[in-house]
Structures are given as C-alpha cells and as structure tokens.
Amino acid sequence: MTDAPETAAPKPEPKPELAHGLARGLTNYGDRDFARYLRLSMARSMGLSTGLLKKPVVGIAATYSEFNNCHRLVPELVAAVKRGVLAAGGLPLEFPTISLGEVFLNPTSLFFRNLMSVDTEEMIRGQPMDAVVLVGGCDKTVPAQLMGAVSADIPAIQVVTGPMMTGRWRGERLGACTDCRRFWAKFRAGEIDAATIEEVEGSLATTAGTCAVMGTASTMASLAEALGMMLPGTAAIPAVHADRIRAAEASGAAALRLAQLGLTPARIVTPKAVENALRVLLAIGGSTNAIIHLTAIAGRAGIPVDLHRLNELSDTTPVLVDLKPTGPFYMEDLHVAGGIGAVLRELAPLLHLDALTVTGETLGERLAAEPGFVDRAVVRTRAEPLQPQGGLVALFGSLAPRGAILKRAAADPTLFEREGRAVVFTSLEDLAARIDDPDLDVTAEDFLVLQNAGPLSASGMPEAGYLPIPSKLARAGVKDMVRISDARMSGTAYGTIVLHVAPDAASGGPLGLVRDGDRIRLSVRERRIDLLVAEDELARRRAAQPPAPPPPKRGYARLYKEQVLQADEGCDFDILRAEPSR
C-alpha cells in the first residue's frame, strides 16, 4: 500500500473575530483569498492608498435627501465624521440609506420606519465595517437607525442633525411645529385671516434642522443620549451651531474607539438603559411617539417595555424641562441651559448609574464630570419641578385592554376625571368630511372618537390623534376637549388626547365598536378609559361587523400588513424583533 500523495497545506484563514476593516465579511465566491484580492483591487479604484486600505473601517450611514428638510446639513456632518475617523486612525466609508422626511411621506412616516430599519440593519451587516456612525434626525429616522443598529450589533454611535433655530414674526418668537398648530387653531377659529396664516407659514421653519420644540425628533435625540448611544451633551445642539459639526467629528473618533473596545449595542441597550431613557422621557415632557419607538428599539434587544411599569416610573419622575409644547422655551434654550446632561444629573438618584455608554464609561462616571451652568428657568430641580409626576401616563380599561397613552403634561387637568358622550368618526375621511359641519351634533363636553387610524388601518397610524376642535366650537372659544383614537399625535401637539388605543379598531379592538351616543369614562387618577356599554350589546355589534378588507396584493404594503404589531409592542414587524412570536 502506497502513501497518499502529499497536498499543499491550506493557507490559514483569518479568524472571523480577528478580521477587521475591508477583510471583514468577504463576498462569497468560494475562495476567500480571491474575494479579498478582488475587493482590494476595486477599493483601489476609488483612489484610496494602500495604507488606508489596511485601516479599521468606520461606516457612516448617511440620510441626506431633498425630500427631508431636517437633513439639509447631513453632508456637512458626514464630512466632519470622516475627519474624526481619519484623525483617529481609521478609514471612513459613507453609505446611503433610506431617509424619512416626516411631512413628505404618504401615508405616514411610521409606515416606512421599519423599512428603513431593515435597510440600516442589512447594510451594516452586509458591508465590511468595524463600527458605524448613524447620521439622522427627523422623527422616525433616529429610531429606525437605532433599531437597525441594535439588531446588527456592531459598535455603533448616533449623530443627530440637531434642532432648528427659532424665527421671528411681528415681534414674536416662532418655532416649528407647536407654533404652527397654535396659529392653525387661530385660523380655524376665525381669529386670523388667510393672508396672515400664509405670512406665519414663511416664518415657522427658517433654518435647517428638526423641529425647534420638544417634538418627536428632539425627544428621540434626548433618549439616544439617555440610552448611552450618543456622545454626552450632543442631543440639543442646534443644527446650525458650530458645536454640531464638532460633535460629529468627535463622534467619528469615538466610533473607532468603540471598535477597538468591541463595545456593541448589546452591552449598552440593556434593561437598565431603557429604564433610564423612560425616566428622561417622563422628565422632559417628551413626545408620546417615543413610547412606540423606545418599545421597538428595546424589542430588538429582547427587552419588553411594560406600560404598567411606565406608570410606576411616571408616578415617581417629576417633569423638569419647560419646553414647548408644554412650556415657553425651545431646544436652543435647552442647549445653553445645560442640555440633557443637566436633566440626567438632576435625575441621578433615580437612574441606573452603572449603565454603559458609547464613551466606554458608565453613566455615573459620565455624570461625575463638572456640571457647569444650568439655567433653572429651563431645567428645574427635583425639589421644585414643573409637575410632580411624569409627562405621560398609560390608561387601561374596557376601551383599551392593552393600553393607551395620555400626555398629561400637555393636557387640561380639568378634563382628567370625566364621563362624556361619544361623537364617532369612522375614518380619517369621515373626520375630514364632518368635523366642521355646522350641523354636527357635538358639544364641548362630548368625547371625540376616531376609529381606524391605528397600525393595521389603511392609513398606517398617522399623527391624526390631534383631532381638530369642531369649527363651530372653536369659534365659540373652546380650546380643548377629550379626544380618543388609535392614532398617534405629533410631539409638537397638545391637548387632552388619548392615543395608541390597543388593540386598534382595524384588528377588532373595542374602539371599533363605539357608536355615537355611547358613554365613555376617563379617569387619569385611576389610569382607566372605559366604554360604558353592556357586554351583550358589544357582542351584538361585534357579530355585525363587516369582514376585514383583503390585504394588499403585493410589495411592502403587504409585508407591513402581515407583520406589523400593535402600539404596545412598538409597531415593529414581528419578524424583526429579537424573539419573533410567529
């Protein structure tokens, strides 16, 4: 028997965990050496030097779009991030993803949030990068980026575009978009004419950036810092401020350090960090949308957000920040008043200070630095808060078995304990057709109810929960009344508005069974919202409900319909969560 012929020993493959830069995640041609050789040859065609090609790679998820006014200065931020990466010894490589311009999308930006998160996740996972810098700002953009980054779980850091600066109009300071709603209400009530509202329109948004108030974009920027996914002190810097550019440069350098530390979102977005973010949300009087987004981000890490726990936190977290829509100040004021760092320091005894952040420090170590000046007109102390309890509260009851949300910081407390007659609108189209009908049977004591505007509705859960006051009541001086829906509300809006009713009407929830004249009881004190209709009558109505319309035939709309979850689960796609349920 002869010996087997000798074969050349295979070249050792780099261990996947040791591969870095352009050697990561090689394209599969069945020959790793060829894949590396081909990739480097193509990379050379971009004019990159041999030395740079050997550096660790920091990807930059860029979201510039001419359909997104908030992101007008993203190219400038990307250039600054690149400087930071290069100075720290890395190779920055920019790549595009979907951009979500809140007011430019139909039916609503939430409909596309999960699509953007998939794009972000798969481009992070599919391309060779050791870390990623997420550059975005507009409402659904930041949550989509964080959702994708948590799922991809490579070192990641968030950079936000920053808020607009305020404008001036006839001696008054204006900022999008709380002031736009205020003036629109005046226009509907007949207090100002068409020429004046057009003049105001040109004075609301006068710089690049996100809305100037504590709307959803500002709230999510604040929560990104509270979660530990963004450099300290960078949430509130105005978009046009030089510090915004410096923050982007510093974030590029920080991303490379994250790669060297191997510090991924799995070690940062933890139950403790999520609870810290909830505390900050309550303390800043933040957007109701943030509950949906934070729930979705946490769900990507397998962390549930319990609305009953939200109430417990709300009862022990004071409102400290006096920004519109609940106060007189704007995000530029919060920046010079001490920023989110001032809020975190004031909340420190209530926070999990051992939570890690993207600096590699714990939150406690971060907050141990010199606090600096704090303007107490903008950021109050815990001893002298604006309100003793948090800005949001979850309601449960026969109308919302899985919960609903009320932004009590922006509501009229005289309406918190009330029973009223339902005036029902069955869809957005029905609302638009009848809300200003002079013959509409409605009084200020009634509850306006909007159905079929939730996540499973044809409208995809728009920000339609801010139901307008019927014009005949607005002209009579009515400023607020109880409004209930399965829709969302812009963080820039205000009023006694019950939102995110779950399950929604389109999925067969009790909200869809409400009829004109039904009595509804609201009790913020008891955390309840109840439909006062006998169960046998509800069973009769349920049996008489028409069948649900067929799902869309194809495409993303069909995927959305088949996969989207209810508001209490963050409206994420089931298949994208850490632990899908089906």
Q: Can you list the domains of the chain with their CATH numbers?
A: 55-165+207-367 (3.40.50.2300), 167-201 (no CATH), 394-545 (3.50.30.80)
Q: What pLDDT is recorded for position 179?
A: 87
The average pLDDT across 521-545 equals 97
Does residue 10 register a pLDDT over 50? no
Q: What pLDDT is recorded for position 110?
A: 95
Q: What pLDDT is recorded for position 581?
A: 87
DSSP code string of 436-455: T-TT----TTSEEEE-S-ST
Does residue 459 register a pLDDT over 60? yes
Q: What pLDDT is recorded for position 18?
A: 57
Give the three-state DSSP class for 225: helix
Are 501 and 454 in contact, with CB atoms under 8 Å apart?
yes
Q: Which of 379, 304, 288, 289 is nearest to 339 (CA)?
A: 379
With 0.85 as the threshold, say if the pTM is over it.
yes
The average pLDDT across 451-470 equals 95
> What's the rounded Cα separation, in Å, for the pair 214 and 217?
8
Does residue 370 register a pLDDT over 90? no
Q: Which of 569, 248, 539 is nearest to 402 (CA)?
A: 569
Residue written as token pair 């609503």? 108
Q: What pLDDT is recorded for position 460?
A: 94
Q: What pLDDT is recorded for position 473?
A: 96
> What's the rounded Cα separation, in Å, for the pair 161 and 19?
32
Q: What pLDDT is recorded for position 15?
A: 43
Question: What's the pLDDT tens digit per position in 64-116?
Answer: 999 999 999 999 999 999 999 999 999 999 999 999 999 999 999 999 999 99
Confidence of residue 13 (pLDDT cuts 50, 70, 90): very low
Mean of pLDDT over the chain: 94
Q: What pLDDT is recorded for position 150?
A: 98
Q: What pLDDT is recorded for position 115?
A: 98
Does residue 12 register a pLDDT over 90? no
Give the three-state DSSP class for 525: coil
Does residue 16 register a pLDDT over 70? no
Q: What pLDDT is recorded for position 8?
A: 41
